[in-house]
Amino acid sequence: MADRKPGFDTLALHAGTAPDPATGARITPIYQTTSFVFNDVQHASDLFALRAFGNIYTRIMNPTQGALEGKVTALEGGTASLATASGHAAQLLVFHTIMQPGDEFVAVRQLYGGSINQFSHSFKSFGWHVVWADAEDMGSIEKALSPKTKAIFIESIANPGGRITDIAAVAAIARKAGVPLIVDNTLATPYLCRPLEHGANIVVHSLTKFMGGHGNSMGGVIVDGGNFDWSKSGRYPLLSEPNGSYHGLKLHETFGNIAFAIACRVLGLRDLGPAIAPLNAFLILTGMETLGLRMQRQCDNALKVAQWLKNNPRVSWVNYAGLADDKHHALAQKYCPRGAGAVFTFGLKGGHEAGVKTVSSVKLLSHLANVGDTRSLIIHPASTTHSQLSADQLKLAGAGPDVVRLSIGLENVEDIIADLDQAIS
Ligand SMILES: *Cc1c(COP(=O)(O)O)cnc(C)c1O
């Protein structure tokens, strides 16, 4: 065959996971080991000095983790990736690589509640300051920039509101400011949206959600777009300056378009330690083989459920960008043409009380704090995932008192609708 570019489903099955070179095993084994034997002293010293790539110790690198990273890199169209213990660990390592104490970054308020907490509280103790903006107002993002700004952070599809962010517009602002755009692509997955193609520089995921897809393993990943010049401004010293823990090595100069992923691994992961367990990497790899099939069916089901809710007299509004009359429909068609994801919110006319009653009455749907399972899930964010937020933050995050969040699964859609019907009634 000529140089055919493999399609998404082919990559989801084959990228990163060639037969095991040691045994021929077709499925990537779970390399359940902490450490790897060196060939000789020279090999060991080359590995430690980053003169050669290879396995040393599972906190830093492991072949099962490496297979997962290869698959994600191919699906997102990046240059390299780093898998981590969770989505939050991925975010921690990204900012650890970019930020110095006293620095600022701009994030939009339309984010997963856990990220709002991480940014506003825990990051403060590192001296990293978040400045909030509004994803629907590009002017507010520009206004939030200052000479201390080191990055801009958005979600492609925002959790829980299901809103679509205009990635290319934010990327243009980031480019002008000379800072990288980081996109959390958890709810879209690369099947629906590839942020690097729209000008993003770094993509992060919670692999815990749709990527693994079966609700059985925690994981996260950082994808290096290889498209940001870390040395130009001198404002990213971990990448551009001689590194004291590697005998003065300059990471960007040495590793070029994979320098960011390397820095996250050999500085962040090495020293902060949130490595993914090989078993979890294996389970997520298996889940990712069917990513395209699952996402398409879950989006199709979500659209049917959203249409049904829209016509339900007890429902006051439905926020799903897949609906033709939704205010984010045009953005959804631009960034997620195959479907607007499977997580969305709706409001009940009965407010807070009706929301609590509905989540208490479902039988098929699971009432829990996760999204992206094969099963359909339901939650009332104001009393759970977003309960640490103030009333103002709740509203801005799309998690007001009457809001119910759904993550639609792979069941027969008639069964999902029947369960919601009895619960809402
Ligand atoms: C769940 C989630 C995270 C955090 O990921 P964990 O794997 O739970 O640490 C980050 N962003 C989004 C959009 C999420 O849904």
Rounded to whole angstroms, how far apart are CA atoms 36 and 125? 35
Per-residue model confidence as pLDDT tens digits over 214-223:
999 999 999 9
Ligand 1 mean position, distance from CA 150 (Å)? 22
Which range (283-292, 332-341, 385-394, 399-408) has the least confidence? 385-394
Identify the pLDDT of residue 401: 87
Identify the pLDDT of residue 328: 94
pLDDT at 393 over 80: no
Ligand 1 mean position, distance from CA 222 (Å)? 13
User: Where does 8-287 sit in CATH, by number?
Assistant: 3.40.640.10
Cis ω on the peptide bond leading into residue 381 (within 30° of 0)? no
Ligand 1 mean position, distance from CA 192 (Å)? 17
Identify the pLDDT of residue 352: 87
Burial, 311: exposed, middle or buried (Cβ in 10 Å; 0-12, 13-18, 19+)?
Answer: exposed
Specify the amino acid at residue 401: P
Identify the pLDDT of residue 2: 61
Nearest residue (CA) to ligand 1, atom 2: 206
Helix (H) or strand (E) holding 81: strand 80-84
Angstrom CA distances, 277 to 60, 68, 213, 381, stand at 11, 12, 17, 29
For residue 335, give the nearest of 201, 191, 211, 151 by alpha carbon: 191
Identify the pLDDT of residue 376: 97
Which atom of ligand 1 is nearest to 207's Cα? 7
Check: CATH 3.40.50.300 for 292-424?
Answer: no
For residue 408, give the nearest of 273, 262, 331, 307 by alpha carbon: 307
Per-residue model confidence as pLDDT tens digits over 296-323:
999 999 999 999 999 999 999 999 999 9
Specify the amino acid at residue 403: V
Identify the pLDDT of residue 18: 96
Q: How confident is the model at residue 395 (pLDDT cuts 50, 70, 90)?
A: confident
pLDDT at 224 over 70: yes
> Which distant-in-sequence residues (6+ apart) come within 8 Å of 369 by Cβ?
379, 384, 385
Which atom of ligand 1 is nearest to 220's Cα? 7
The answer, yes or no, to whether any atom of ligand 1 lies below 6 A from the CB of 341, is: no
Enter the pTM of the model.
0.96
Identify the pLDDT of residue 41: 95
The answer, yes or no, to whether any atom of ligand 1 lies below 6 A from the CB of 405, is: no
The answer, yes or no, to whether any atom of ligand 1 lies below 6 A from the CB of 160, is: no
Identify the pLDDT of residue 269: 98
Ligand 1 mean position, distance from CA 37 (Å)? 35
Q: What is the DSSP letter of 186?
A: T
Ligand 1 mean position, distance from CA 419 (Å)? 27
User: Where do the H-state alpha helices sit in 123-194?
Assistant: 138-144, 167-177, 189-192
Ligand 1 mean position, distance from CA 229 (Å)? 28
The answer, yes or no, to whether any atom of ligand 1 lies below 6 A from the CB of 205, is: no
Identify the pLDDT of residue 392: 82
Ligand 1 mean position, distance from CA 227 (Å)? 25
Which range (235-244, 291-300, 398-407) has the least confidence? 398-407
Do the bridges between strand 377-379 and strand 366-367 make them parallel or antiparallel, or are there none, so unpaired? parallel
Per-residue model confidence as pLDDT tens digits over 144-165:
999 999 999 999 999 777 789 9
Identify the pLDDT of residue 299: 98
Which residue ranges make up each domain of the chain?
Answer: 8-287, 292-424
Which atom of ligand 1 is nearest to 158's Cα? 13
Identify the pLDDT of residue 84: 98
Averaged pLDDT for residues 319-345: 96
